[in-house]
Amino acid sequence: MSTFNLPDVGEGLTEAEIVSWKVQPGDTVAINQVFVEIETAKSLVELPSPFAGTVTELCAAEGQTLEVGQPLFVVAEAAPAPSGAAQPAPAPVRSHDTDPEPGILIDSHALVEGADAGAAPLVGSGPKADPVRRRPRLGRPPVVKAPAAKAPATATASAAPAAHSPAASGAAGAAAVVRSAGPAMASILNRVLAKPPVRKIAKELGIDLSKVRGTGGGGEVTREDLISYQAQREAEQAAAPTFWSHGEQEDRIERQPVKGVRKATAKAMVESAFTAPHVSIFVDVDASRTMEFVQRLKKSRDFEGIKVSPLLILAKAVIWAAARNPSVNASWVETENGAEIHVKHFMNLGIAAATPRGLLVPNLKNAQDLSLRELAIALNELATAAREGRTRPADMQNGTLTITNIGALGIDIGTPIINPGEVAIVAFGTIRQKPWVVSGEVIPRWITTLGGSFDHRVVDGDLSARFMADVAAIMEEPALLLD
């Protein structure tokens, strides 16, 4: 028996929550097979098994929090095969010509005429790593030669013809194909019966026809069946409880444990707010030329297929302005010999991201070295990874300055709290068309508000003002980036 304990998957993390087990007691697990998904204070992490064998015990339930070093699961390791043991059968191979449906694996040995009847003819093993999108050929089901069945010596006279009947053999072969091909093939051969007008109505109403009981001939779903199903669905929705529950006040309080990302965020924000003396300043910016520049980039061949937004220009502006005002890209460090200010000659630009798991602040390492195109790609990848829960702990370490884009939610501006370990953060408000005075005339322009919070131990008022003015200058005239 081998026990695997919870490792430290990040820098200094002390605990993690079990999100979901990928194996159960009795399952066989291979080396490097993912066996559990855990949530730390920084990210979701999939842990690979260091052992091969049979799972005998899971040491924690889903939703339970374990400390680093506590046991996760126990495996009865498989005994090594003797040197003279038979080699395992070759793995199933994909056949692009005989696959009945993309994602079906076919054992090449099963296609050999005269193979043993006891051998499994097909192996269904889920989607391909890189599935080929093709239309299933409904009119031409795959031809699989079923092995001829051998009648037992003691078979009765009446049973013998059935065993050798071509119809029986064909039916058995087709059933074997459906069973082994899995849900994908079964869904094709067992398609819900419904006329085109009925299918159109179901699509418009968002009804899955497989959930509707058909009363027509042969189980066909009719228009009346849809009407009945929709009425029942609306009744269930009307009877469903709303957010505002009833009863005693104490019973209407939902208690949510503080853990994971929320726990880490709360601790960091309290530490920042009560350790670093914040000073905040705001500036209104005419971002009309930034909007025009973004439109030109979207039409550029160099940015084809790349999402471009004003946030890209702001990120480049922050990098540019920090080089002119280095002390905003720094940290306050307490040492045995007293406090020190560490000015960073590199930019790990943090982007605050709201995700289903809470607030994450991954950062782009050495952002100062990225071209505008590379920065656009990196921002897109960072946002996608955060939304999908793929942000790694290393991606959220060693940030030097952060941007928070509250404008994406339609908010004009707010007072951001500095990310711990940094001394500055820039908030980006929404961009709206507003009346603006240009050369004595009031005309509509694209206006945004930028807000900045700074650690007053490191960044004085004049420095914070000069930094924000430089950021605003780029948003008003992106051509300055070419200087």
Where in the sequence numbering do the catalytic residues fall? Answer: 456
Q: How far apart, in Å, are the Cα atoms of 248 and each of 239, 241, 245, 253, 256?
A: 20, 16, 10, 9, 19
Amino acid at 201: I
CB distance 149 to 164 below 8 Å: yes
CA angle in degrees (0–180, nearest 5) for 299-304-309: 70
Report how far residue 191's alpha carbon sits from residue 193's, in angstroms, rounded to the nearest whole number.
6
Place of tokens 């009847």: 117
CB distance 408 to 425 below 8 Å: no
3-state helix, strand, coil in the chain (%, to 5): 35, 25, 45
Quickly count: other Cβ atoms within 10 Å of residue 467's Cβ: 26
Structure tokens given for 161: 């013809």
User: Phi and psi for 212 in degrees, rounded to 5?
Assistant: -100, 130
Quickly count: other Cβ atoms within 10 Å of residue 372's Cβ: 17
3-state secondary structure of 18: strand
Report how far residue 355's alpha carbon sits from residue 391's, in angstroms, rounded to the nearest whole number.
11
Report how far residue 123's alpha carbon sits from residue 92's, in angstroms, rounded to the nearest whole number.
7
| Burial class, 73, CB count within 10 angstroms (exposed 0-12 / middle 13-18 / buried 19+) | buried
CB distance 379 to 350 below 8 Å: no
End-to-end alpha carbon distance in the chain: 66
Strand pairing report for 28-29 and 34-39: unpaired
Q: Across the strands, what pairs with 351?
A: 403
Report how far residue 368's alpha carbon sits from residue 345's, in angstroms, rounded to the nearest whole number.
9
Quickly count: other Cβ atoms within 10 Å of residue 213's Cβ: 9
CB distance 100 to 141 below 8 Å: yes
3-state secondary structure of 418: coil
Place of tokens 């087990």: 21
Report how far residue 349's alpha carbon sits from residue 164's, in angstroms, rounded to the nearest whole number.
73
Strand pairing report for 363-364 and 349-355: antiparallel
Structure tokens given for 117: 């009847």
**What are the DSSP E strand ranges found in 372-429?**
401-404, 424-428
3-state secondary structure of 69: coil
